[in-house]
Amino acid sequence: MAIASAIPGGDLNVSCLKTPCSQLLSGRFHKHIFMEPISEVLKEPIVPFAVLLVVIFTVPALFERLRIPGLVGLLAAGIVLGPNGLNLLQTELPTMRLLSDIGLVYLMFVAGLEVDMEQFRRTKNRSMGFGSFTFAIPLLMGLLVGRLFGFSWNASVLIGSLFASHTLLAYPIIRRLGVVNNESVVVTIGATIFTDIGALLVLAICVAIDAGEFSVTRLAILLGSLAIYSATVLFGFDWLGKEFFRRSKDDQGNQFLFILLALFLASVGAQLIGVEKIIGAFLAGLAVNDVVGNGPVKEKVEFVGSVLFIPIFFVDLGLLIDIPAFIKSIDAIGLTAAIVVGLISSKLLAALLAKVVYRYNLQEMLTMWSLSIPQVGATLAATLVGYRAQVLDESVLNSVIVLMLVTATLGPILTSRFAPQLDIASKNLSGVEAPPDLGWTSGIANEKGEFTVVVPVYNPKTERYLMELATLLARHEEGRIVPLAIAQAHAHMDSPELNQAVAKSQSLLDQAQKLSRELGVEASPQLRIEYDVAQGISHTSREQNASLIVLGWGGREGFRARVFGNLTDSVLWSAHCLVAVTRLLDSPLKTRRILVPVENLTTSAVRPVRFAQILSEVNQAQVTLLHVCDSRVSESKMAWTRAQLEIIVSQFAPQNPLIEIQILRQDNVTQAILATATSYDLVVLRSLRRRVGADGLAIGEVTAPLVKQLTCSVVMLGETQGAPSDIFANSKTNPRAS
Cα 281 to its chain centre, rounded Å, is: 18
Residue 343, pLDDT score: 92
Residue 349, pLDDT score: 94
Question: 669 to each of 405, 732, 736, how far by Cα in Å?
Answer: 26, 11, 7
Q: Name which of 218-227, 277-286, 334-343, 395-404 the model is least confident about.
A: 218-227
Residue 438, pLDDT score: 39
Phi, psi of 530 (to 5 degrees): -140, 150
Residue 109, pLDDT score: 87
Residue 719, pLDDT score: 60
Contacts of 138-147 with C-beta under 8 Å, sequence gap 24+, read 138/163, 138/164, 138/342, 138/343, 138/346, 138/347, 138/350, 139/163, 139/164, 139/202, 140/346, 141/342, 141/343, 141/345, 141/346, 142/339, 142/342, 142/343, 142/346, 144/342, 145/335, 145/338, 145/339, 145/342
pLDDT digits (tens, 9 = 90+) for 307-352: 888 888 888 888 877 777 666 665 678 888 899 999 999 999 999 9
Residue 654, pLDDT score: 58
Rounded Cα distance between 569 and 558, Å, is: 12
Which of 705 and 448 is assigned the larger pLDDT? 705
Among 628, 648, 588, CA closest to 728: 628
- CATH fold of 50-428 reads Na+/H+ antiporter like fold (1.20.1530)
In percent, the amount of the chain with pLDDT more than 70 equals 79
Q: How confident is the prediction for the chain on average, in pLDDT?
A: 77
Place 214 in a pLDDT band, splitting at 50, 70 and 90: low
What pTM was computed for the model? 0.60
Place 24 in a pLDDT band, splitting at 50, 70 and 90: very low
Residue 682, pLDDT score: 92
Residue 565, pLDDT score: 46
The yes-or-no verdict on residue 658 having pLDDT over 70 is yes
Same CATH topology for 50-428 and 586-738: the answer is no
Q: Name which of 200-214, 429-443, 453-467, 664-678 the model is least confident about.
A: 429-443
Residue 653, pLDDT score: 61
Residue 720, pLDDT score: 53
pLDDT digits (tens, 9 = 90+) for 86-125: 888 887 788 888 888 898 888 888 878 877 677 677 777 8
Q: Name which of 46-50, 283-287, 570-574 the model is least confident about.
A: 570-574
The yes-or-no verdict on residue 655 having pLDDT over 80 is no
Place 274 in a pLDDT band, splitting at 50, 70 and 90: confident
Which of 709 and 232 is assigned the larger pLDDT? 232
pLDDT digits (tens, 9 = 90+) for 139-168: 999 999 999 988 888 889 999 988 888 877
Highest mean pLDDT among 279-288, 345-354, 518-527, 569-578: 345-354
Place 221 in a pLDDT band, splitting at 50, 70 and 90: confident
The yes-or-no verdict on residue 542 having pLDDT over 80 is yes
Strand order in the sheet with 578-583: 526-530, 480-488, 452-456, 548-552, 578-583, 713-718, 682-687, 593-597, 622-629, 659-665
Residue 10, Cβ density class (10 Å: 0-12 exposed, 13-18 middle, ≥19 buried)? exposed
CATH superfamily of 440-552: HUPs (3.40.50.620)
Residue 369, pLDDT score: 92
Residue 729, pLDDT score: 30
Which of 429 and 339 is assigned the larger pLDDT? 339
Place 559 in a pLDDT band, splitting at 50, 70 and 90: very low
Residue 265, pLDDT score: 93
Highest mean pLDDT among 176-180, 299-303, 469-473, 571-575: 469-473
The yes-or-no verdict on residue 59 having pLDDT over 60 is yes
Rounded Cα distance between 55 and 451, Å, is: 52
The yes-or-no verdict on residue 628 having pLDDT over 60 is yes
Mean pLDDT in residue range 364-368: 90
Residue 734, pLDDT score: 33
Highest mean pLDDT among 39-43, 59-63, 210-214, 349-353: 349-353
Residue 657, pLDDT score: 67
Q: Which residues are within 8 A (CB) of 233 and not within 5 positions of it... i.e. 6 or more apart?
A: 266, 269, 280, 283, 284, 287
Residue 353, pLDDT score: 93
Which of 558 and 217 is assigned the larger pLDDT? 217
pLDDT digits (tens, 9 = 90+) for 444-486: 344 456 789 999 988 888 888 888 898 888 888 888 899 998 8
Q: Domains of the chain: which residue ranges?
A: 2-43, 50-428, 440-552, 586-738
Rounded Cα distance between 221 and 394, Å, is: 32
- CA quadruple 69, 74, 76, 77: dihedral, nearest 10: 140
In percent, the amount of the chain with pLDDT more than 90 equals 8
586-738 is classed CATH 3.20.20.210: no
